Amino acid sequence: MAYISIWPDILRDSYYYATSNPYDKYLKDININGKTFKYYDLNAFGSKYATSNPYDKYLKDININGKTFKYYDLNAFGSKYDRLPYSIRVLLESCVRNCDNFQVLEKDVQNVLDWETNQKVEGGVEIAFKPARVILQDLTGVPAVVDFAAMRDAVKDLGGDPDKINPICPADLVIDHSVQVDFARTPDALNKNQELEFQRNKERFQFLKWGAQAFDNMLIVPPGSGIVHQVNLEYLARVVFTNDVLHPDSVVGTDSHTTMINGLGVVGWGVGGIEAEAVMLGQAISMLLPKVVGYKLVGELNPLATSTDLVLTITKHLRSLGVVGKFVEFFGPGVAALSIADRATVANMCPEFGATVAHFPVDNRSLQYLVQTNRSDEKIKIIEAYLRATKQFRDYTNAEEDPIFSEVVELDLSTVVTSVSGPKRPQDRVSVSVMKKDFNDCLTNKVGFKGYGITPEQMKASGSFTYSDGATYTITHGSVIIAAITSCTNTSNPTVMLGAGLLAKKAVENGLSVLPYIKTSLSPGSGVVTYYLKESGVVPYLEKLGFNIVGYGCMTCIGNSGPIDDNIANTIEKNELVCCGVLSGNRNFEGRIHPNTRANYLASPLLVIAYALAGTVDIDFETQPLGKRADGSSVFLRDIWPTRAEIQQVEDKNVIPSMFKEVYSRIEMGSDAWQALDVPRGKLYGWDVNSTYIKKPPFFDGMTKELPTIRGIINARCLLLLGDSVTTDHISPAGSIARNSPAARYLANRGLSPREFNSYGSRRGNDAVMSRGTFANIRLVNKLSSRPGPTTAHQPTNEPMDVFDAAERYASEGVPLIAIVGKDYGSGSSRDWAAKGPFLLGIRAVIAESFERIHRSNLVGMGIIPLQFLEGENAESLGITGKETYSVQLPDNLSPGDMATVTMDNGKSFQVKIRFDTEVDLTYFKHGGILNYMIRKML
């Protein structure tokens, strides 16, 4: 229940929003012990001040297992509630429960209740939403904890109480992005990789362990435990919160694949790190009420098809329909046949088809999964009783329960065929039956998402090298160099993991093997996966093919694929070969997986092994064998492919609750190395000025209690002129630190050798490294530069420079900066450094044809102005070269949806839309960013 206990702060803080406080009329004098004090007489507000949540009248008692709980009875809203999509019912419940008429208004409740009408409103209807919890992974979690520590310092410096800076909303942080595949194909690969992980990340891990004791309401899951989204699914998810008032679990996370939890019926999505920090501090998310696409599933999957094939099919379908900013909710009889792991696989790929969530409401299968994953009987009974009482429990076979949707699309599961996606984007699905032709077409197509521009003469290119085993091997276009069973997408799914194990068993029994130079790896999503792979007896066969367990984390999918043999790398580069990576992941953008795998394909774990066995993607599995048996007969993929029934039999026998109980009973303890970490105590962090991992950020330097003056942008230069589909992989530092980069020079100047550089991900707590790595992707195409990569041209000299060096020079000249970009700017993973980095480079505004939802929010959160070209206009149509100077005049009384004029020094000007979509966006911008706003609120 929410009580209006924060009204005094609202009145006092009105100072920041007006030249004179409009509530000074309520000031009164009070005499205490002979002294006169002033105070705001809140009784002037009458009943609204005197009462609690106006929806407390809907509170009811429910008795479950002899215990009485309270809950908000949403049925009181009648037929309007019954017609709402199930995902929208979660938003409604949150608004009802958190209604305080400040952050969450009665108008928000009514707007959600009137979803059927409001979702059609041009420009959208704004609502406030308070998620039940926040989840972080370490790459995005470290900077969040760094910011919290720096905010404590800032509050102290401004005369406030630093202890006020604590997560108010429960926060879980899983360390899973730090381990990389340095060692593979050996029995000791796991131990060696984990040892290196601790060596490289000791400072970061110490800092996080400090945070675990310094901050209240924050759980840290140590490294080696599993991938954040799988741990969330198997252990952290509440489904229903049982404290105070029963309410649905909901979550935002600092990783875009937070959406995976929707497979279990928990509404969740990825947000930027700075937005997540605000939620942790008790702030509501301001969002536009989404359209909800009903995705109807009918029929059954082909016995040979996998959930990976299903998700790649759905990804291509929904990306082509256009669902950015929308919720997708699955319904229909076909859903009932999907396991929770299958649903989670689909929900995981939600960012790849562009939706905000891909939701599967809770049903009986969800409850069965909770039993399987060792949730208590008492908790499961509470979940079922509460969800049934509030009509949030689904029977997918009952069409009478189907709600109203914005639009409905349908997929017959029987039409799903074995597929991969690539070579450069997850939405570019290719049926395996035509993969050989598609790859060869890609080679000769002009350079683009489906093309490499290889000439007829280059098509026959090949190269030979001597490997460590002393043998000589030849590789060509299409040769597989990396084959990784990795990522939250598939390693959470016992069906495809056990399927891969059974395929490996049959392959070995038929005499097949994987070429020794292919970097094969297996990184399970949790210890439970290892448990059931061992129990089912398939591990020896996986290891025989080189798929040894190398670590518990994202690894290859996030770009932590580690090095490949120098001889292979040199051969690829010398002969300009398009060699391949095949992985069971969710992202395959250029430059992400490995610099030497120019083509990368997403595939099921079974197909990862199949292509590793083939050694190339240039193969037709129907007509070309994988190899020969000892008797000389051919072995085709169809000979070793297990059926869904075979896999299900093994799964039913080996995936049992006791595994989950044993693994998760010790998850918070961590390894011996984690337990041995020496951690400083205290509420304020003792920053080490010599640390190259953890550094106090400059975001609050010079901050005052008073609001800064809002000014336009005068005579800015364009640092980058970019095209369409620039992802956060292009913007945010990720992967290895190149030895010739500004970040490398910074580290070298501090006495580090190249082998100590580590990755950008591991150094996200150091703004000096991260700002130098912003826009450092080797595939970045900046039209101000003559070649791909992290370079630009300083103006007006036109001198070619690294992006960071140019920004530093502009800063010394006192010149503000902008970036001019194309469509879908900032798509991909939700990375706060994709906004923090540009801010530190001095970029004041980004002018784009369109923005990805999360990234636009992050730009606002850092005080960067998102400006959008008018429909039909772009840099090319307006004749912008990037060499002009640009001035942006902001309106005097800035409001959401306002327009601005951009004037160039060549006399031309054009109109842009200022993408402050809500009043909250404006508030954050006026404060210089969301964290600055929160600091002032805490004083």
Yes or no: say if 807 and 719 are a contact pair by the CB < 8 Å rule. yes
Give the integer Cα–Cα distance in Å for 546 and 866.
48
Give the integer Cα–Cα distance in Å for 568 and 173.
37
**pLDDT for residue 195:** 93
The set of long-range contacts for 749-752, using a CB threshold of 8 Å and a minimum separation of 24, is 750/690, 750/692, 752/692
> Strand order of the sheet with strand 171-174?
218-221, 171-174, 133-137, 250-253, 267-270
List pLDDT tens digits, range 13-29.
433 333 457 777 777 77
List pLDDT tens digits, range 642-683.
998 899 999 999 988 998 999 898 888 888 899 999 888 889
Give the integer Cα–Cα distance in Å for 180 and 523.
10
CA 905 to chain centre: 40
Binned at pLDDT 50, 70 and 90, residue 591 comes out as confident
What is this structure's pTM?
0.82
Q: Could you give the percent of the chain with pLDDT greater than 70?
A: 96
The mean pLDDT value of the chain amounts to: 91
Binned at pLDDT 50, 70 and 90, residue 561 comes out as confident
Q: Per-domain residue ranges for the chain?
A: 441-655, 713-938
Binned at pLDDT 50, 70 and 90, residue 43 comes out as low
Strands of 130-210 (E only): list them.
133-137, 171-174
**pLDDT for residue 274:** 79
**pLDDT for residue 11:** 39
Mean pLDDT of 522-544: 94
Yes or no: say if 651 and 202 are a contact pair by the CB < 8 Å rule. no
List pLDDT tens digits, range 148-197.
999 999 999 999 999 889 899 999 999 988 889 999 999 999 999 999 99
List pLDDT tens digits, range 688-729.
999 999 999 999 999 999 998 888 999 999 999 999 999 988
Identical fold, 441-655 and 713-938: no
Distances (CA, A) of 3 to 49, 71, 199, 904: 9, 16, 49, 52
**pLDDT for residue 44:** 65
List pLDDT tens digits, range 630-645.
999 999 999 999 998 8
> Strand order of the sheet with strand 357-359?
357-359, 327-331, 292-298, 407-412
Q: Around 707, how many Cα atoms within 13 Å sit in the side-chain half-sphere?
A: 21
**pLDDT for residue 38:** 74
**pLDDT for residue 829:** 65
**pLDDT over 80 at 9, yes or no:** no
**pLDDT for residue 245:** 94
More confident residue, 460 or 759: 460
**pLDDT for residue 832:** 81
Q: Quick one: fold of 713-938?
A: Aconitase; domain 4 (3.20.19)
Helix axes 106-113, 86-97, angle to 10 degrees: 160
Based on the number of CB atoms within 10 Å of its own CB, is 506 exposed (0-12), middle (13-18) or buried (19 or more)? middle
Residue 537 one-letter amino acid: G
In sequence order, what DSSP letters do the residues of 601-660 get, joined into one string? EE--HHHHHHHHHHSBS---TTTS-SEE-TTS-EE-HHHHPPPHHHHHHHHHHH--HHHH
Binned at pLDDT 50, 70 and 90, residue 6 comes out as very low
**pLDDT over 60 at 590, yes or no:** yes
Binned at pLDDT 50, 70 and 90, residue 586 comes out as confident
**pLDDT for residue 178:** 82
List pLDDT tens digits, range 187-223.
999 999 999 999 888 888 999 999 988 998 999 999 9
Strands of 65-213 (E only): list them.
67-72, 126-129, 133-137, 171-174
Mean pLDDT of 412-423: 95
Q: How many CB atoms lie within 10 A of CB 44?
A: 11
Give the integer Cα–Cα distance in Å for 128 and 112.
10
Binned at pLDDT 50, 70 and 90, residue 372 comes out as very high
Mean pLDDT of 612-616: 98
Mean pLDDT of 41-52: 57
CATH code, residues 441-655? 3.30.499.10
